Amino acid sequence: MASSNTSDVTDRLTRDHIGLSDTFAARRYFRKFDQITDHLGRVAAVMASERQLTHTDVGVIGHYVTALRRSFEALSMKYLMTGRDTGTFFGSLAFDAHESGFPVFRELMTMANDALQAERHLSAMMSEADLKSEMIRAIVGDLDIPTKLQFSLSQRLYYEELFTGRLFWAQNDPEAIWLGNSGDEERRSYLVHWAVYDSQVNLPTIYLLEIEDTGKTALPKDQRRWPQVQSHLMAQAVAGLKLLTIAQGFDKDFDDLHPKRLRRIHVGPMYSSAYTHQAGPIRQVLEDARAPEGQDWTLAWTVEELESERVEQSRKGWFGKVDREIFALDPFSGRGADTGATRTERAVILPERPYQVLAEMDPPGFRDVRKFVVGAGGRVLSYR
């Protein structure tokens, strides 16, 4: 009874995880992501020029986008030979085809596991040059397609990519950037940023938290608080938690740290008529666009933001007093209570053809969504 229950639950949870087992489908999938991550940096730059993001923010976001791109490159190497008979029993890339379009969380965890062993694997493998000359020998000498050698080389490149590091991992631990001292008090301001690959929705999520620090030692140098802060934030980096929950928990657990502004950026989902199942107007848009390969996608980009409205003093113990933040919620109640954020901004990034169709159809759900239209040559146009 219990086991049938469990399998039922897991069935529901993994129902939309799909393996990409066709060689060309897999390669096309990675090419698509290569393009998309390419555009992301430029879109962030446009946001910065509109003063929506500061220079520091763009730096941080750019850092994660680049890391994300590297991770995809690594995965594309790992699964380059998918669907070919390489003589090795090898899986295929599993990705979430519903409301995500990104690889499933497990892929990133497996990658982290591989990274631990990258050095060992690399030392046991032939060098790239050797593999290539072996390949030529197989092609010219044996008149054979060197599938196995190709596979070895792809794995070598994969491990090399992992070995260089600076990838987007399943968890990217918090880092702090000093922003300055505010007021005449000894209040240091920091931008703490971290990112996770959320396991529930299978999407990369970036967190930006601005805090004021009234502790004795500067936060990043405080050997007692900083590791605690890091593990607390990582444990709370769950997409299912509202920003208010995260900020309040943090405020409560650390008396001398005051969260002032918390932002969470969801990169994705990525919709593509070729790969993902989507519901709602976006499906119609992508289908009607009949865009050529490489232009048939839409990437959603959501920024949630929570700001502190005022500070109240609260009793702590018998004599002490600490600051407690009261956060501003979206004034349009109902909605605000739902999101647990001060505001939520949605944007979609899409190529010209799908945009054309979107503009013609003008579905009601998309009216207040920012639209970034990307085109050849790195052009980014923004429409309300």
Partner 1 sequence: MADFDAQIRDSQEQVAAAQSKISDLTSRIEIARAKLQSGDDIALDIENATLDEVHAHTDLMNANIAELIMGLDDVTSGFSKDFDEMRNKTGWESFVGVFSSGKSESLRQERMRNASIDDKLQDLIGKSDVIVKLLEGQLNMLNQQKSSVEGNLTGTLDEREATVGELETLRANILAMDPKIIALEGKISVEQDAAARTKLESELAALNTSYNESVQHEQVMLAKSQTLERYIEKGKTWVDSLQNQAATQMVLINKLQTDTKQRVVLYDALSKSLKTAQQQDVAHRINEIGVQTDQEAQAAMAGIGAATNQRMADMLEAHEDHMVFARKVLEQKVKADERFARRFQKIVEKHDKNLYGA
Residues that bind partner 1 (CB under 8 A): 6-7, 9-18, 87-89, 91, 94, 97-99, 105-106, 109-110, 112-113, 116, 170-171, 199-200, 231-232, 234-236, 238, 240-242, 244-245, 248-249, 252-253, 277, 279, 312, 314, 324, 326-327, 329, 337, 340
Q: Which residues pair with 307 in a beta bridge?
A: 261, 328
CB-nearer residue toward partner 1: 53 or 131: 131
Give me the amino acid identity at 202: N
Q: How far is the CB of 105 from partner 1 (least distance, A)?
A: 7
Q: Are 177 and 191 in contact (CB under 8 A)?
A: yes
Asked if 311 contacts 258 with a C-beta cutoff of 8 angstroms, the reply is yes
Q: Kindly tell me which of 27 and 242 has the beta carbon lying closer to partner 1.
A: 242
CB of 154 to partner 1, least distance (A): 16
Judged by CB, which is closer to partner 1: 183, or 240? 240
The answer to whether 232 touches 211, Cβ cutoff 8 Å, is: no
Pick 57 or 198: Cβ nearer partner 1: 198
We find the least distance from the C-beta atom of residue 43 to partner 1, in angstroms, to be 27
Tell me how far, at minimum, the Cβ of 373 lies from partner 1, in Å.
Answer: 28
Beta bridge partners of 261: 210, 307
Shortest distance, CB of residue 29 to partner 1, whole angstroms?
Answer: 18
Residue 13 Cα to chain centre, angstroms:
20
CA–CA dist 260, 243 (Å, integer): 12
252 or 290: whose CB is closer to partner 1? 252
State which residue, 10 or 217, has the beta carbon closest to partner 1.
10
Taking the least distance from each CB to partner 1, the nearer of 83 and 249 is 249
Which of these, 245, 261, 241, lies nearest to 305 by C-alpha position?
A: 261
Shortest Å distance, C-beta 89 to partner 1: 6
**Rounded to an integer, what distance in angstroms lies between the CA atom of residue 276 and that of residue 272?**
6
Nearer Cβ to partner 1 (340/351): 340
Distance CA 347, CA 304 (A): 11
Least Å distance, CB 5 to partner 1, is 11
Shortest distance in whole angstroms from residue 328 CB to partner 1: 10
Name the residue among 142, 113, 147, 116 with its Cα closest to residue 131: 147
Backbone angles phi, psi at 202, to 5 degrees: 55, 50
**Which residue number, 126 or 380, has a Cβ lying nearer to partner 1?**
126
* Smallest distance, partner 1 to C-beta of residue 234, A: 7
Q: Is the Cβ of residue 54 or residue 314 nearer to partner 1 in the bound state?
A: 314
The nearest distance, CB 352 to partner 1, in angstroms, is 28
Tokens of residue 314, six digits = 């609260």
